[in-house]
Structure 1
Amino acid sequence: MIKILTNPIITVLIFCCIPVIAVLIYFAFICTIAFICDCLGLFKPLTPEEFQAKVQAAIQQAHDDIAHNHLELRRYGTPAPASNTYKQIILDRYQIHTNVVAFCRVTELKANTSKAYNAIMQVEIARRFGPDALSQALEEAEAIHLQQYK
């Protein structure tokens, strides 16, 4: 191996050309997949009616979950520092599950369906446990978090 690397042409091929070729192959593969998906209509934008139908489906899902005694909050975005503590408090105290539906990159559809679902759930949570149940749990989680990381 050492003897091969003493030849400058082979060294350039190994350390420069091969990685460039690998990157080009990767991008060709990604572009091909994107082209196929576009041709099949997999990435077509939703019409306003389709968008609204998906939001209504999220609202219906929230009502169905409540009817089955399943309370859940859908979360997206970068988690707050005390989010794991908050998640555990509302699960232990109120049997409210949390479902992370997206992280930093959130589509408008995902954000709106999550907001619609959560709006229905928050009304039910306030009815069952009081209007301040979630905010009190959040304050408690933040206090615990600050105590742990002082």
Structure 2
Amino acid sequence: MPKPIYVLSGPNLNLLGVREPEIYGHQTLDDVRALCEARAKSLGREIVFRQSNHEGELVDWIQEAREKGCAIVINPAAYGHTSIAILDALKASDLPVVECHLSNPAAREDFRRHTYVSLVAAGAVTGFGAASYELAIEAAAGLAR
């Protein structure tokens, strides 16, 4: 089995299904995990699926992926707009990166229209709710070949 795709989610995504469902949908993070696992399996891949509200923990996982993973799918959430540390860790990973967002940041507040992750990501999948994660896994699997 090839190395896994790391699927990392940032702050407040543990509240999926209850936090602003009109923006983020009604599916929970566990629902998203199940969708991701199924999509990865259909592609002959495994995933490491993690969520944290802590920037340093996300950095640690990105560094872990450098050794143990084949690609990274990341929904940095609010850290996308603020974290140079996550950007630097992604750059150092030397892995394909796919940015993922449940909503479409370009259609929201001005401050959401720029993310540091976009500077290193091969591409971004945004605005498709939980399906954004599935599509991002498909893209990451293709990039990891």
User: Normalising to structure 2: TM-score of the pair?
Assistant: 0.27
Q: Per chain length, whose mean CA-contact separation is higher, i.e. which structure has more relative contact order (CA < 8 Å, sep 6+)?
A: 2
User: Normalising to structure 1: TM-score of the pair?
Assistant: 0.26
Larger strand fraction of residues: 2
Larger helix fraction of residues: 1
Larger Cα-atom Rg: 1
